[in-house]
Chains A and B, each alone.
Chain A
Amino acid sequence: MTIPAIDMLAILPQTIVIVTALLVLLVDAAAGQARIDRQVLPWLSLLGLAAAAAAAVWLSLSGQPHYFQEMAVADGYSLTVMLVILLTAGLGVLLAQATVPHISHQAGAYYGLLLLSAAGMMFMGAALDLLVVFLALEILSLALYVLVGFNRAEARSAEASLKYFLLGAFSSGFFLYGIALVYGATASTNLEAIGAALAQGTGASASQSLYLYAGVAMLLIGFGFKIAMAPFHMWTPDAYQGAPTPVTGFMSVATKAAAFGAFMRVFVIALPAAQPQWSWALAILATLTMTLGNLAALRQSSLKRMLAYSSIAHAGYALVGLVPGTSQGVSAVLFYLFSYVFMNLGAFAVVTALERLGENDVLNGNFAGLADRRPALAAAMAIFMFSLAGIPPFVGFFAKFFVFSAAMAEGWGWLVLVGVLNSVLSAFYYLSVTVQMYFRKADETPAVAEAAGKSKPGLRRAEGKGKKGAAAPAAAAQPAETALALSTRSLSVAVFIAALGTVAVGLWPAPWTQWISQAVTAVFGG
Chain B
Amino acid sequence: MQLLFFLILAAAAIAGALGVVVSKKPVYSALSLLVNFAVAAVLFITLQAQFVAVVQIIVYAGAIVVLFLFVIMLIGGDLPGVAVRPRARAVAAVAALVAGVLALAGLGYALVAGSPAATSGAVPGNGSVQAIGEALFTTYLLPFELASVLLLVAMIGAVALARKDST
Instruction: Point out residues on A near B: beta carbons under 8 Å.
Output: 1-4, 6, 11, 18, 25, 68-69, 71-72, 104-106, 109-110, 112-113, 116-117, 119-120, 123, 129, 131-132, 135-136, 138-139, 142-143, 145-146, 149-150, 152, 183-187, 197, 205-208, 210-211, 214
Contact = CB atoms under 8 A, between A and B. Distances in A.
B143 A71 contact: yes
B153 A113 contact: yes
Contacts of B140: 71, 131
Nearest to A140: B153
Contacts of B110: 184, 207
B63 interface: no
Nearest to A149: B161
Which of B118, B120, B140, B159 has its CB near the most chain A CB atoms (within 10 A)? B140
A106 B163 contact: yes
Contacts of B106: 214
Contacts of B166: 105
If over half of B's interface residues share one DSSP class (helix, strand or loop), that class is named, otherwise mixed; here it is helix
A146 B149 contact: no
B160 A139 contact: no
Contacts of A135: 143, 146-147, 150
Nearest to B158: A146
The 9 A-B pairs with the shortest beta carbon distances in the complex, nearest first, are A207-B113, A146-B157, A109-B160, A71-B142, A135-B146, A187-B116, A187-B117, A184-B115, A131-B143
Interface in B115-167: 115-118, 120, 134, 137-143, 146-147, 149-150, 152-154, 156-157, 159-161, 163, 165-167
A119 B109 CA distance: 40
5 contacts: A11-B142, A106-B160, A184-B118, A205-B113, A210-B109
A148 to B, nearest CB: 11
A116 B137 CA distance: 23
Contacts of B149: 18, 116, 119-120, 139
A16 to B, nearest CB: 14
Contact of A208 (B115, B146, B150): B115
Contacts of A136: 146
Interface of B: 106, 109-110, 113-118, 120, 134, 137-143, 146-147, 149-150, 152-154, 156-157, 159-161, 163, 165-167
Nearest to B139: A69
B115 A1 contact: no
A211 B154 CA distance: 32
Contacts of A143: 153, 157
Contacts of A145: 157
B43 to A, nearest CB: 18
Contact of B160 (A150, A187, A208, A214): A150
B150 A123 contact: no
A78 B31 CA distance: 48
B153 A116 contact: yes
A27 to B, nearest CB: 14
Among B120, B146, B152: residue with most chain A CB under 10 A: B146
Given A1-B134, A120-B153, A210-B109, 19 more contacts: A2-B138, A6-B141, A68-B142, A69-B139, A69-B141, A71-B142, A106-B163, A109-B157, A113-B153, A116-B153, A120-B149, A131-B143, A139-B153, A143-B153, A146-B157, A146-B160, A184-B118, A185-B116, A207-B113
A23 to B, nearest CB: 13
A125 B150 CA distance: 17
Nearest to B152: A116
Contact of B138 (A3, A131, A142): A3
Given A18-B149, A139-B153, A149-B161, A207 B142 contact: no
A438 to B, nearest CB: 41
A179 to B, nearest CB: 12
Contacts of A184: 110, 115-118
B157 A142 contact: yes
B160 A185 contact: no
Contact of B156 (A116, A152, A185): A116
A207 B166 CA distance: 59
Nearest to A210: B109
Contacts of B134: 1
Contacts of B152: 116
Contacts of A112: 156
A129 B143 contact: yes
Between B116, B120, B138, the greatest number of chain A beta carbons within 10 A of the residue's beta carbon is seen for: B116
Contacts of A11: 142
A432 to B, nearest CB: 38
Given A11-B142, A72-B142, A25 B156 contact: yes
Contacts of B114: 207
B95 to A, nearest CB: 13
A146 B156 CA distance: 9
A123 B141 contact: no
A199 to B, nearest CB: 14
